[in-house]
Amino acid sequence: MLIVANYKNQMVHMIQPKMDGWQYRIIITDDGCQCLSRGKCVDVWDKIFRGDLGRVIELLPIGSDFIVELHSPGVPATSVPTMIAENDPRLRMTVLSIDLWCHQDFTDKTWSEVQAVCEIHGLEAVPTTERCPPRVFSTEEVENLKQQAIDLGIEGWITRVEHQLTLCKIKPTRTIDVVVTDWDLGTNRNAARLGSVRMGVYTDEGLKDLGSCGIGFNDEDRLEYSRNPLTGKVIEVEYDDLAAKGKLKFARFLRVRDDKLPRECSGSQL
C-alpha cells in the first residue's frame, strides 16, 4: 500500500505535481464499490455513485483496488467533502497508485504500465513532469522545487522511485506572526499541559480568527505555556496554505515574538 511522507533525502526517479485534494481508496468487488477516505476509512460511495465520477467507477473492472486523489484546480482540499456531497461537476479524480487491477497484482508494475491502463479506461493518472536517474535531491534542488511550485500556483510536488514505493511530498510553506487569543489543555500525555493555542490577525473588520495551532511545541514549551499562557502574545507560525474558511492549514509553532506587539499582526501578511 502507498505510504505518504515528507521528503527527506529519499531516492527520486520521478517528479509529479501535487494536487490539493483528498486521497481515497477505491475497491471494486462482486459485491459493489467502496470509496474509503485514507486514514479514517469513511466510505463515501453512497455520495460518489450519484455523480459523474460514480458512473466512471462503475464501468471499471471488478477485482480492482487503487488510490486516487479527488480534487478541483483552484479549490482548497477542505472543500472536497462538500463537493462530493453536492456532486459538484468540477470534482476530478486522479489515480496515484494501483494495487490490484482486474484481479491482477499491480504492486510491481512500472508507472508507465499504470498510465497505460488508466488511458485505456479513460482515467486521469498524475502526470510525470520529469524523469531522472534515481538519486537524492540536494537542499538547493528542494528549495528550487518549492519556489517553482509557488510560481506555478500548485500545492507542491510528489517524488517517488516507482509507483508502489513511498510517495514523498515537497511543499512550500509560509510563515506569519499571529496574536494568541486563547489556549486549551491537551489530552492523554498532555492532559495537564498546553494542547493548542487559538490565533488571529488584525484586519479592518477587527480580529480575524485563523484557527488553532497544536504542533511544534516541545514538552518544555507545553509545560511552560500552561503555567504562563501565551494569550495576548505574538508567536510566529509556519503553515502550508489557507483553508476554505480562511484558517491556516497545518499551522506549526516556531517561536515567541517578544519584539512585536499584537496590533502589528496584520491581515496583510496573508
> Could you read off the pLDDT of 9-67 as tens digits, one per residue?
888 888 988 888 899 999 999 999 999 987 767 889 999 888 889 999 999 999 999 99
Q: What is the DSSP string of 34-96?
A: EEEETTT--B-HHHHTTSHHHHHHHTSPSSEEEEEEEE-TTS-GGGHHHHHHTT-TT-EEEEE
State residue 164's pLDDT score.
Answer: 66
Percentage of the chain beyond pLDDT 70 is 97
Which positions ≥6 away from 229 have C-beta within 8 Å? 180, 183, 194
Q: Please name the amino acid found at residue 205.
A: E
Cα(16)–Cα(128) distance, integer angstroms: 5
> Could you read off the pLDDT of 124-175 as tens digits, one per residue?
998 887 777 888 999 899 989 989 988 887 888 988 887 766 788 888 888 9
Q: Domains in the chain and their CATH numbers?
A: 4-170 (3.30.470.30), 174-269 (2.40.50.140)
